[in-house]
Structure 1
Amino acid sequence: MSGRTPSQWEEITAADPAHSTWYVERFRTLAAEGADIVGEARLIDAMLGRGSRVLDAGCGPGRVGGYLHRAGHVVVGVDVDPVLIDAAEQDYPGPNWVVGDLAELDLPSRGIAADFDAIVCGGNVMTFLAPSTREAVLAGFARHLAPSGRAVVGFGADRGYEFPQFRSDAENAGLTVDSQFSTWDLRPFVDDSDFLVTVFSRVH
């Protein structure tokens, strides 16, 4: 970990090496039971034409990116946890699953074009980052968007990242708010909403 700040997720898994496997099995069980685990993906799919390029940022075991791949999009998924990437490769073959740190995101250095039509960051990923890296992660999203691309980020309140600070960090990182919702099924955001889904465009 020298030279970089580990994410809160990495600290959790370092303290409990079984955590990642538990997380994978949790979503496998939910899927097997017929639970709706792809609400974020349906929103992104509705925003795009077929064959769009999508970055699943903090992809975990692949539920969102896997759905979008099956829907006909070109998907790259990035996660810092190799256990989760391995599960994504097993359960959702097709996307390009990449082990990587969102705070140091540089896909062109891996031969992957930074011209995504959409970036999706669901699953409370923003709250698992090291706080000192949040703005860097958002700046990475801005760098990896196509000129007309949009980034969609969702996370819950009371998880250590206040919504006003998030919006300020995003603005500093080169993103501008297009719209805000309180759920992935597009219910309006109000001041006391306990969840925030924000659609951003790049500042030109």
Structure 2
Amino acid sequence: MSRWQELTGGTSGSEYAARFEALGRGGMDLHGEASFCAALVPAGASVLDAGCGTGRVMIRLSELGYDCVGVDLDESMLDVARAQAPQLPWFRADLAEFDPELLGIAADFDLVVAAGNVLPLLTPGTEATVIRRLAAALRPGGLLVAGFGLDAAHLPVPPTTTLPEYDAGCAAAGLALVDRFATWDAAPYDGGGYAVSVHRLDA
């Protein structure tokens, strides 16, 4: 069972969406992740939102002209995403078993994004497998972008994945580090408790 399932019971979709709606009404920029991704690849590029949740990032990217596919394990989150954007392709799948071809999807994405602490909330021990499967969904030269917490202040669960471990998993999957930031606003990474990492698949 994933840490996310243990934490939420797989029934928190509406509550999760409501929390972000409240943050948006309070003036928080809800599209930082989408803006970050849009600065990396041109409009029209294909994007896989891995651990898409309620679809906040993917829906915005679609509005900006990207060809998007969303995948998540939590049906309650996908219910919200489908209600908000029924025209977009949403798939239920465990990222540790994710195989685009089984879903009828071409494994040639320009960018894969894993936002919202996807990596630390996986089933323990599957992190390297998930990285490998996400890398396999990329075209040569494609980008994997992942933002996640590294300490208790930035995570709802005890921290498990370190940056060296993440980078090692990426290297084993043929991914090279391009850049790393402290926020989705592209602030320089300073060794803090949250990191946004950009890796490129070997061409």
| TM-score greater than 0.5 by the shorter chain | yes
Answer whether contact 1:154 1:195 (CA < 8 A) is retained: yes
- Select between 27-36 and 79-88 the one with higher mean Cα deviation: 27-36
Question: Counterpart in 2 of 1:3?
Answer: none
1:89 and 1:19, CA in 2 relative to 1: closer, same or farther beyond 3 A? closer
Question: Counterpart in 2 of 1:100?
Answer: 93
Structure 1 residue 32, shift from structure 2 partner: 4.2
Question: Counterpart in 2 of 1:60?
Answer: 53
Q: Does structure 1 residue 82 correspond to structure 2 residue 81?
A: no
Answer whether contact 2:13 2:54 (CA < 8 A) is retained: no
Structure 1 residue 121, shift from structure 2 partner: 0.6
RMSD over aligned Cα, in angstroms? Answer: 1.5
Question: Counterpart in 1 of 2:129?
Answer: 136
Question: Counterpart in 1 of 2:201?
Answer: 202
Q: Does structure 1 residue 7 correspond to structure 2 residue 6?
A: no
Answer whether contact 1:153 1:199 (CA < 8 A) is retained: yes
1:147 equivalent among 117, 122, 140: 140
Answer whether contact 1:117 1:146 (CA < 8 A) is retained: yes
Gaps of 5+ in 2: 152-158
CA distance in 1, matches of 2:97, 2:37: 24
TM-score normalized with structure 1 length: 0.90
CA distance in 2, matches of 1:35, 1:184: 13
1:56 and 1:127, CA in 2 relative to 1: closer, same or farther beyond 3 A? same
Gaps of 5+ in 1: 1-5
How many pairs does the alignment contain? 196
2:113 equivalent among 92, 107, 120: 120
TM-score normalized with structure 2 length: 0.90
Answer whether contact 1:136 1:173 (CA < 8 A) is retained: no
Q: Does structure 1 residue 165 correspond to structure 2 residue 169?
A: no
- Select between 88-97 and 47-56 the one with higher mean Cα deviation: 88-97
Question: Counterpart in 2 of 1:25?
Answer: 18
CA distance in 1, matches of 2:63, 2:87: 8
Answer whether contact 2:181 2:196 (CA < 8 A) is retained: yes
Answer whether contact 2:109 2:137 (CA < 8 A) is retained: yes
Structure 1 residue 116, shift from structure 2 partner: 0.4
- 1:76 is paired with a residue whose SS is strand
Query: Alignment identity in percent?
Result: 39
